């Protein structure tokens, strides 16, 4: 069950809706068209408001249509009705396109747009956001896991095109279609992990650990704080994590369930150095300045990580969407402040479940890279 919402807007010459008489004329034309597509439609309220007017109509089975007329020439139409899953839509996709065409032909529009039907109150949340907060609709048809951990809401949903997908606090994290994410993060084919010691900060879905173990490392420590994420992924995302989240420990790896800084600080105290550190924690925050709790956390992680990296080591991490340029620039400015100084390279890959290009960073000590003194 859900409420189906259709959004239509168009622009006309402001002179046509500049006064009450003009708005009445334009509305009359529009009402005639709407009645062809919405059964039993009647005018229930006509309200004059600052800058225009609002018309409220009702129709079959409680359908409501609101027409907002702005004296600057903009007209918006919202059509809402209740629909059970087994019912046919009141206005089919074909009818929506016919409605759009009818309005365009009859209303002498300068511009017109009909949005696809939005499902509100649906049993599955099919709407997530891009890195720069644009609305994305997914073909989600089931929820396999949905629980609140101590740290976040953990969901595994099923997508017709992406397979099972991990969603944390309403943000898509990884799906069965996202091997490219893991391979770009680890720079497969460009970095050699054989015989190397590696620390993964986060990585609760197990995908990075699973792929790294194929490269024959000497040892990998995975530091994940949320037991529930691992439990959910072990059950529903085996195709990307294998059995590593079930076993938790092997000849050349160990998963430690705690705040990653506990182990990092222990390594610092012991003066232990590793070859690679993967930051697989939060994305670079979307903000206008590098301040706030998340930025402080990321900067703390950076400073601590380089204390346990070998001089030839690398810090590998994901950034954010390629369209989030401001936040990426802020992150790079923070990298430039690090002491000892570091250099970095960037990679980009289209991640299917993100529906956008994503930026990844490879960061190393400047003094030991490319022969710098």
Rounded to a whole number of angstroms, the CA Rg of the chain reads: 27
In this structure, what token pair is assigned to residue 331? 């992150």
Q: Which candidate in 46, 280, 283, 372 is catalytic?
A: 280
Q: How far is CA 266 from CA 209, 272, 307, 308, in A?
A: 21, 9, 11, 10
**Tokens read off for 348:** 């980009």
Short-list 200, 363, 184, CA closest to 281: 200
Say whether 96 sits in a helix, a strand or coil: helix
Nearest to 180 by CA among 167, 171, 193, 189: 189
Distance of CA 309 to the CA centre of its chain: 31
* Interior angle at CA 43, CA 81 and CA 107, nearest 5: 85
- Per DSSP, the three-state class of 40 is coil
Angle between helices 20-37 and 93-106 (to 10 degrees): 150
- Residue partners of 344: CB distance under 8 A and separation at least 6: 332, 335, 361, 362, 363, 364
d(C-alpha 308, C-alpha 94), whole Å: 61
Residue 328: phi and psi, rounded to 5, are: -65, -40
Q: Is 280 a catalytic residue?
A: yes
List, by residue number, the catalytic residues. Answer: 280
């Amino acid at each position: 069950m859900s409420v189906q919402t259709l959004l239509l807007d168009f622009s006309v010459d402001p002179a046509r809706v500049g006064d009450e008489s003009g708005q009445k004329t334009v509305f009359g034309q529009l009402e005639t068209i709407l009645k062809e597509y919405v059964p039993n439609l009647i005018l229930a309220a006509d309200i004059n408001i600052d800058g225009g007017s609002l018309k409220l109509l009702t129709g079959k089975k409680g359908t409501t249509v609101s027409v907002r007329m702005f004296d600057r020439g903009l007209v918006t139409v919202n059509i809402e009705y209740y629909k059970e899953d087994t019912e046919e839509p009141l206005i089919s996709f074909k009818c929506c396109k016919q409605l759009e065409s009818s309005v365009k032909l009859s209303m002498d529009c300068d511009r017109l747009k009909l949005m696809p039907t939005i499902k509100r109150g649906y049993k599955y949340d099919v709407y997530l956001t891009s890195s720069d907060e644009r609305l994305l609709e997914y073909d989600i048809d089931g929820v396999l896991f949905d629980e609140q951990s101590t740290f976040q809401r953990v969901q595994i949903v099923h997508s017709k095109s992406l397979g099972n997908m991990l969603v944390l606090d309403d943000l898509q994290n990884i799906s069965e279609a996202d091997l490219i994410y893991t391979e770009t993060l680890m720079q497969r084919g460009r970095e050699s992990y054989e015989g190397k010691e590696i620390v993964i900060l986060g990585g609760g879905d197990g995908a990075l650990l699973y792929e790294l173990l194929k490269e024959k490392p000497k040892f990998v420590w995975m530091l994940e704080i949320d037991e529930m994420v691992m439990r959910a992924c072990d059950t529903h995302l085996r195709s990307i994590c294998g059995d590593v989240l079930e076993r938790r420990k092997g000849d050349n790896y160990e998963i430690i369930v705690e705040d990653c800084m506990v182990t990092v600080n222990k390594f610092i105290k012991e003066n232990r150095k590793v070859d690679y550190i993967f930051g697989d924690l939060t994305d670079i925050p979307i903000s206008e300045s590098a301040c706030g709790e998340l930025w402080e956390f990321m900067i703390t992680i950076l400073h601590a990580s380089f204390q346990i990296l070998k001089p030839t080591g690398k810090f590998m991490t994901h950034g954010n969407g390629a369209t989030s340029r401001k936040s990426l620039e802020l992150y790079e400015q923070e990298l430039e402040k690090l002491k000892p100084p570091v250099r970095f390279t960037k990679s980009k890959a289209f991640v299917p479940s993100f529906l956008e290009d994503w930026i990844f960073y490879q960061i190393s000590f400047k003094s030991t890279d490319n022969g710098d003194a």
